[in-house]
Amino acid sequence: MKEYQTITEVSGPLVFAEVDEPVGYDEIVEIETPQGDTLRGQVLESSDGLVAIQVFEGTSGIDRNASVRFLGETMKMPVTEDLLGRVLDGSGNPIDGGPEIVPDERQDIVGEAINPYSREYPEEFIQTGVSAIDGMNTLVRGQKLPIFSASGLPHNELALQIARQATVPEEEDGDDDEGSEFAVVFGAMGITAEEANEFMDDFERTGALERSVVFMNLADDPAVERQVTPRLALTTAEYLAFEKDYHVLVILTDMTNYCEALREIGAAREEVPGRRGYPGYMYTDLAQLYERAGRIEGREGSVTQVPILTMPGDDDTHPIPDLTGYITEGQIMMDRDLNSQGVEPPINVSPSLSRLMDDGIGEGLTREDHGDVADQLFAAYAEGKDLRDLVNIVGREALSERDNKFLDFADRFEAEFVQQGYNTNRTIEETLEIGWDLLSALPKTELNRIDEDLIEEHYREDEAGEEAEAVSAD
């Protein structure tokens, strides 16, 4: 252990100190203030004779008389299966009043990259209980599927709903994954105390905390801690998945606060800024987090990520959603117009996408008609929305009976399929049944994306369906 009393400058969350020996990048540092407080930090930059240290607890109280100790190791997360049911702060310390954590081991928070050769292709369904996700943009084990939201939208409610309801359904052949239990790692970054209380009340009220590990970094906590919180969460998830065979869902909110912390640290280091003032290495930094999702051959567990970000100014071309979209496998888009109409959750399925959906649906875990139903719902909803624009010009009376059917379909799709509330947990079977109810209001001849055998099996020959067929024949 090397100790120095050579601090030369304190700049925002950074401390600069002179050294006479090489110091490793990311090495953990303890700083003892003249008041007797001990603060932790991490080496951010190391050069000949000078190091830059980012201090997790903030630099208040640090002056030139403070002592700096370099511990000779990188930051590690104490991991154990007993973390399930615990609430930790953004630095990994318990804040739930429970006992001290007795770890099985301590793992480097940077993690180890998964060898691409050892990666298993994600192709198994995770049921979130949310129809707009399960039915139209299916989440798959080992996938990274972000939620793109905006200020004022209820992304926290959706995050809690997914954390509460997500499960690995039993396979139809009876070969389920009951041996691989399901767990949630919830990492909150830069949230307010009010939001933190809402999260904890919901976790405790619903019993979801029993299978969860919660990391809480509040808005008044140091920005530097925000860079550590997601890495602690992902290290915990990797341990539970690859050492204890859990299927782990990692929910990270809000990635925009994380990126703002990156920008703040970059400004303190006087780095040359990139696009809109964010560091030029933000793409690499985000990739280091997002790519820690996946499955490994020979291991039962998996790590699935649902990061949540708020798009500044509702701009999906902003660097944060833009770079996130490049790295991840799709996105779930929340919509301000649907929210103003009272749709819960306000998910706009049209620009949403899950690139791995086709591999996670079909015979076995879900149903063989899943893909066809989703395609037909997409097509019919798109046509109905286009007709809304036409109605604004010519009026509804100018539309044909067929067009009116699609116009009604779009309204019913939002009111019955997307709308479900935050406390309703739908199975994939219930979601697809609602889909067939909606499609049965259209003429059979318009269902051109579904196999005829499936139409004969599932199409409802009710009054609406018979009327639609009569209109089509006319």
Question: 274 near 282, Cβ under 8 Å?
Answer: yes
Question: 137 near 322, Cβ under 8 Å?
Answer: no
Q: Average pLDDT, stretch 108-115?
A: 84
The two tokens of residue 240 are 């539970």
Q: How many helices (H) and strands (E) in the chain? A: 14, 21
Q: What is the pLDDT of residue 45?
A: 86
When pLDDT is cut at 50, 70 and 90, the band that residue 446 belongs to is: very high
Percent of all residues in the chain with a pLDDT value above 70, rounded to a whole number: 94
Question: 305 near 290, Cβ under 8 Å?
Answer: yes
DSSP assigned state of 158? H
Q: What is the pLDDT of residue 293?
A: 94
Residues 399-430 pLDDT 10s: 889 999 999 999 999 999 999 999 999 999 99
Q: Within 13 Å and on the Cβ side, how many CA atoms surround 406?
A: 24
Is 111 in a helix, a strand, or coil?
coil
177 versus 263: the higher-pLDDT residue is: 263
Q: Could you tell me the pTM of the whole model?
A: 0.88
The CA-CA-CA angle for residues 125, 130, 134, to 5°, reads 30
The span from the CA of 11 to the CA of 52, in Å, is 10
The span from the CA of 358 to the CA of 140, in Å, is 10
Q: What is the pLDDT of residue 342?
A: 95
Residues 303-315 pLDDT 10s: 999 999 999 999 9
Q: Count Cβ atoms below 10 Å from residue 76 Cβ, excluding itself.
A: 17
Q: Which amino acid is at 92?
A: G
Per the prediction, the chain carries an average pLDDT of 88
Q: What is the pLDDT of residue 225?
A: 86
Strand partners, 42: 28, 54
The span from the CA of 248 to the CA of 238, in Å, is 8
Q: What is the pLDDT of residue 177?
A: 47
When pLDDT is cut at 50, 70 and 90, the band that residue 391 belongs to is: confident
Is the C-alpha dihedral spanning 332, 454, 461, 443 positive or negative? positive
Domains and CATH numbers, the chain: 2-74 (2.40.10.170), 77-360 (3.40.50.12240), 370-473 (1.10.1140.10)
Q: What is the pLDDT of residue 366?
A: 65
pLDDT higher than threshold 50 for residue 172: no
Percent of all residues in the chain with a pLDDT value above 90, rounded to a whole number: 57
When pLDDT is cut at 50, 70 and 90, the band that residue 142 belongs to is: very high
Question: 216 near 95, Cβ under 8 Å?
Answer: yes
Question: 144 near 293, Cβ under 8 Å?
Answer: yes
The span from the CA of 459 to the CA of 455, in Å, is 5
The span from the CA of 356 to the CA of 46, in Å, is 41
58 versus 386: the higher-pLDDT residue is: 386
> For residue 228, how far is the Cα from the chain centroid?
17
The span from the CA of 372 to the CA of 422, in Å, is 27
pLDDT higher than threshold 70 for residue 464: no
